[in-house]
Each structure stands twice: as C-alpha cells, then as structure tokens.
Structure 1
Amino acid sequence: MDSAALHMALAAANSNATSLYVRYTGMLGGRDKLCRLAQYFSRLMVYVLSQRQLIHGKPSGTAAATSWLATFAKVQAAMGVTRKIMRAGKFVEFLQLLVRTLCVSGEDEVAKLLSAVHKAGMFVFMGADTLGLLAGPLALLRLRNAPRVARIGQRGWLVALVSQVLLAAYRLRNFAVREGDLRRVRRQVEKAGDAMGDRECAVEEQMVGRGKALARRQLVAAALDLTIPAKGLGLLVVNEGLVALAGTVTSCMGIQDVLAKAAASL
C-alpha cells in the first residue's frame, strides 16, 4: 500500500463518521434500534407487497414479487428473534428500576406513580418475552399456554405505553404552567430593569423549552407505539400497514436518540 492510500485509510479510520459508527454499534440500544427498524420496515413491506398482489388479482404474484415478499418475511422473523435474544433477561433491569423509583422520596407523586407503572409494565412485558424466547426459538422450556403468556406480555407493554403517554402529557402540562409563571416573572424583571434576572429567566426558558420538546417527542413515540400492542390484543381495529408504519417511524426516532447520545460521548 502506497503512502497516499495509507493516508486515506488512516483519515477514514479516524474520521468523526467512523468514530460515531463505532460508538453507535457498540451500544446495545443502538443495535436494537437498527434491528427494530429492519423488523418493522420488513413488516410494512410484507403488507404493501401482499396488498399489491391482491389489488392486481394475483394472489401468487410474479416471481420477483413473491421472492421479495418471502425475503421481507424472513427478515421480519429473524429480526424479531434477534431482538428477543438481545433483550433476554432485561426484566431484571426493569425490576431494579421499579424498586428504585418507588424508593425515591421528594419527587412529584403523580410523575413517580406513572413512572413506576411504566417500569412495572415493562417488567411484565420483558419477563413474558424472555419466557417466550426460552419456550419458542430456543426450545429450552415448555409452556402449557404460550399464547396466554404472550398476551400477558402484550398487556404489560400496553400498560407501560399508556402510562408513558400520560406521564408525557402531565409533564407538558407542568411545563405550560411553568411557562406562564416565567412570563409573569419576565414582565416584572423588565419593568425593574434587572439584567441579572433577565439572564436567569432566559436560562430557565431554555430549560423549559428543551423539556417541552423532549416530553412532546416522548408523547408522540409512545402514542405511535401504543398501536402495536393494541392491535395485537384486538383493542384497535387498524390494518397491518399502519401498525408497521408506526413501528418504523418510532424506530427512526429511537435511532436519532441513540445517535445523539453517541455523538455527545465522542
């Protein structure tokens, strides 16, 4: 390898993009979000290709369409199992978080309760998910009623997402109240010509703005994800395409969040 090629290789290896990629793929959450995106995008494509075949009145479809349909179905199934393996045993983490949340004192009781319900729901979901993995793909455990265990897990996930939606809405309401207080304080500061108070108000307004944006994003993501267990439990009558699209969108949002964390740690 000549010096120019070596220099280019070193530059590529030490670039910010490469460092960000290495940091991102080194995070379990980052890999999970990529697998989730592949899973729900494949689910969406399975629905789209299936509907296209039905519209054209060809259930079997062309050879190419049938091949793509089979490929996306395999990717969806493979990513589902892969994600189950990656999060196996994660229910212990949510149990720990639940206990810590309940032990925290001096917090907003409503926010504390909703946060505890979210973690309890995720504990149930992850526990049922791990049992399903052991009894299904790994065949290490025999369950008398595997579908019932899966439904219990879906209910836990549903409860977790509902509590997350309520928590985000509650935080948005608190931020709105705080904004009203800040506007009154700023008017008084401007009348008094207090430069120090003006700077403090500006800092507080920035914090409230960031908090509102985060709570709004959490509300949207949780509301979209809510369609997945609701559809699975038969509580929501929507087609597979909308559910898959919701999962695809929230997967992209999750990837953005993990990328931001990875970039901040560089």
Structure 2
Amino acid sequence: MAYHGRFAPTPSGPLHLGSLLTAVASYLEARARHGTWRVRVDDIDPPREVTGAADTILRQLDQHGLHWDGHVRYQSTRHDAYATAVERLLRDGHAFYCTLSRRELAQRGGVHPGPSLAVPDPDGSAVRLAVPSAPVTFTDRLQGAQSFALHEQEGAFVIRRRDGLYAYQLACALDDADDGITDVVRGIDLIDSTPCQLHVLDCLGRARPRYGHLPVLVDADGQKLSKSAGAAALGPHAPANLTQALHRLGLAPPADLAGAPCPEQLAWALPHWSLDRLAGQRTCPVMA
C-alpha cells in the first residue's frame, strides 16, 4: 500500500519546538517510505484561532525545509462534507440529538449514557455519536496494543456542537479518510482522541489509518510543551531548531552538520531515520 502521511497543526499560534518535532518525524517517515506528506490546517474552531497563525505555520515549515505535497487542506472549507457525514450518522442510527449541557454531564460523572437522553428536536441541540459497549482497540506503531472502553470513559461524544460548529473528532477522522491518509504520526498527547476517531470511521464504513504516537517534549518540570501553556515560538534560526529536533528524535547528526542548512540536515537524516527508535517512549526533555 502506498504511504500517505500528514501534519495537521491548529492555527492557535506559531509552531514551537514540540510541534516541530512532530512535523519532522511525520515528514521523515513519509519520505523514508517514498510516500506523500500533506499539510492540513485544523481551523475548525474559530474561537481558538489566532489571526495570521496559519500563514506563520506554513512559512515556518518552509523555512525548515519541510515541503509538503499538493495543496494545503483547510478544515474551514469542509463544512459541507462534515454536514453530510453527520446526516448519515443520524440516519443510520449511530448519532442522536442531545441537549445535555457540560454542567449536567459533569453532574452525571462526566460519562454520557447514550441515546437514552436523545431528543427529537434538532433546534438548540448538539449531535452526539453513540459508542460501543465493547472496547475500541488498535495497535499503535510506537506504543503497542491499545484498548479504550469509551462507554466507561466518556460515553457518547459530540460530533456537532450546539453552536453548529463541527467537533474535532469528526472533522479529523473524515479529513484523514477523504485525503486517503494511511499513516498518522503525531504526539502521544492525542492518543486518547484516536479511539473516538476510529469509531467515527467504523460507523461511516471508512478505512482506518495506522497510528504512531510520538513522545512529547517536556520542560524541566515534566510539563508538556504546548501553545496553551505558553511554549515559546520557534526561534528565527531554522537550522538550529532543526538540529535540536533531530537530536530529540534520537538522531545524532555529525558535528559538522550542526546548524547546517536545513536541506542538508534533512538529506542526512533521511537514510538514518527509523520511527522504531522511538518505540515505547512517552516523553523526552527539551534539553539533553
């Protein structure tokens, strides 16, 4: 099977070192397998977006030599596809309308009981996807066998919000399917989203991609680097950023390549790349 990978940043700010690590790993894996590497901007949630962040991210990728195949996909242009998927899930009995608020859900222990709370009227309702009683299982390329009992952990989850915005789990799953993505390489902080996305694909009868969840970068206190936690944007010297990302991914470029132009570093990294080197790792420190 031909390999098709992707990198899907959220435009809530510029890339930081942790997001660069994910981009580099997914890029190298796609190129090592002679596959394609696409970029998708996950701009499905306007309140979280930062003006100009999408263009900044694309410029950062280009500066680091991470050149994508084809056009950039923007989730904000995909509402018709999401609407069609939601209507199908409703029609097939997988999804239902629900007016339960977050506060009411918290009072129930945070686990939605499912269609027993369905309402007939779509006005003012969210759309939730019922979950199976059996665990959702998959084998992660890096983290091994995984099993999630969604009916115990969160229950029926939202695929379209009350305000009409489509939820990440639906959009991400459908975009991967429609783009023919065969392999998703991303941070382990998203592994809890994977069973929900797999369940969406199963309900729609779409193929599942393979997943490999990378270790995330943590600071000296063991906290994940993230935009929400105020992680610093990448510095202006792209070659130095790339050298650090390669080291964090288990590669050790020779001394004369440290800080070399990004295309030279990537050309060296490609034949030395192995995703398996990161198997079982969940975190790695920012500094050596």
TM-score by length of 1: 0.24
Structure whose residues are more often strand by fraction: 2
Structure whose residues are more often helix by fraction: 1
